[in-house]
Amino acid sequence: MKKIGIIIPDGTGIRNYLYSNVVKSLIEKDCEIILLHSISQAALDEINHVHGIQFKAVQIPQFIESLQQRFIRETISYARLLRNKSLTKNDSLLNNWRPKKSNFKKKYFYNLVEFVGRNISRNYSKIVKYEAKYQKAVAKNNQRYVEIVKSLNLDLIFSTHQRAMNAIPIVVAAKILNVKTVGAIFSWDNVPKARLSARTNEYIVWSQYMKEEMSLYYPEISENNITITGTPQFEFYYNEKNRYSKDTFYDKFNLDKNKRIICFSGDDALTSPFDPEFLTDIVKVIDTNKLNIQILLRRAPVDVSGRFDSIVNTYPEIIKNAPPLWNFDKNSLQSWQTVYPTFEDIKLLISTAFYCEAVINLGSTMAHDFAIFNKPAVYVNYNPVISKTWNIDTIYKFQHFRSMGDLKPVIWLNSKDEIETVLKKVLNNPILDNEKWLNVISENRNIASENIAKKLVSCI
């Protein structure tokens, strides 16, 4: 029996790799799974419950970088962002650089990081040398993590998130012990963001498009070490057991069966601070024109601000609230380790995409969830208020939206004046390139778990 350690650095990655069939497929291939984690006991209990198995779990000690390590890592990130900006001719990539220069020490630190980063960004070999320097710096004081990996006698380590801090020392320890490592890219927009901190031997990616991104931004990684497997993120949608019945879904959220449903999905408050204003504009049009539409509101899982409460309470007959079924440690709302989705939230999300006519949001991944059922997505594309700190023009310049190419996969809502027309359009089965765009983003959607399991086993 082969032993595979799966790094779970926080609760957000549980859904894709611990709730999906990846683990099941590995067990069927005679593998023992050990969870190397930084998550809560409640999250572990949920994983065990989903699979009906008591997994061996080892807590990863919190990784605290030295000042030198942090300096090198941040310098690499800034240098790569500058290089990526040059490669793509896309200035928006620098929006991913948001250092907090809140006091003199931090300002001095990050000014120095930026100075060195600018220097090495002009010569890629210097960036690669800094990468090696960082790995060496982590390895220097890594005995605690080496002992953990050594004691488990693992054949392979699978890292489920390429930039999670707690994954870094485990991956470095594995290299010291000559244990093979494979890393997954967590999200469709991650590769250009210059945060490939956990440097594994091999990588699994969502699609040919993502593989080409990896080769562009990380030419030192051989194409032979990048395998297209797909992501398990969308695999759940192909199992009808993961959907509520229509009666259950409507009853659960007090929906009117005589009205069509459109989902409004919120983003986090930093990315989309004016989501309540967008929702207000839409609901006012529905109310004024007596449209036979109800809105199902799904806020972002991490948005517990209550910022939608006022509009929801004002229009209770139009807006029905379907909050994500995620668990939080109320004493630590800012800790990703204590935030995790329940398996029931997968059913809620799938049912939402299945029973709603369309989804409206600010450039969200939810467009892909709805595309699986060939449902349209509407991307809001106007400034609902005048703001000195936020502008809609920035959002759709982000590099991952270039994956659209010449496709027309979404409906654009370019002003308040278009709301009524757009709402009527989405109810009339518009022909879009949404499935074609999804195929660019994610291949092998219904067999990704099996592909990943095969790849991991083949590396042993």
For the chain, domain boundaries? 2-64+141-231+445-458, 67-134, 237-441
pLDDT value, residue 12: 79
Tens-place pLDDT, residues 341-353: 999 999 999 999 9
- Average pLDDT, rounded, for the chain: 96
Confidence of residue 328 (pLDDT cuts 50, 70, 90): confident
pLDDT value, residue 10: 84
- If you average pLDDT over residues 223-234, what whole number do you get? 98
The answer to whether residue 311 scores a pLDDT higher than 80 is: yes
pLDDT value, residue 333: 46
The answer to whether residue 164 scores a pLDDT higher than 60 is: yes
* pTM (predicted TM-score): 0.95
- If you average pLDDT over residues 394-402, what whole number do you get? 97
d(CA 105, CA 29): 52
Confidence of residue 329 (pLDDT cuts 50, 70, 90): low
The answer to whether residue 253 scores a pLDDT higher than 60 is: yes
The answer to whether residue 70 scores a pLDDT higher than 70 is: yes
Q: Which CATH number fits domain 237-441: 3.40.50.2000, 3.40.50.300, 3.40.1390.10, 3.90.320.10?
A: 3.40.50.2000
- If you average pLDDT over residues 415-435, what whole number do you get? 97
The answer to whether residue 337 scores a pLDDT higher than 80 is: no
- Please say whether the beta carbons of 323 and 342 come within 8 A: no
- If you average pLDDT over residues 31-38, what whole number do you get? 97
- If you average pLDDT over residues 379-401, what whole number do you get? 96
pLDDT value, residue 331: 54
Tens-place pLDDT, residues 101-137: 999 999 999 999 999 999 999 999 999 999 999 999 9
Q: Which CATH number fits domain 2-64+141-231+445-458: 3.40.50.1980, 3.40.50.2000, 3.40.190.10, 3.40.50.300?
A: 3.40.50.2000
pLDDT value, residue 389: 92
pLDDT value, residue 116: 99
Tens-place pLDDT, residues 4-13: 999 998 887 8
d(CA 102, CA 408): 42
Domains 2-64+141-231+445-458 and 237-441 share a fold: yes
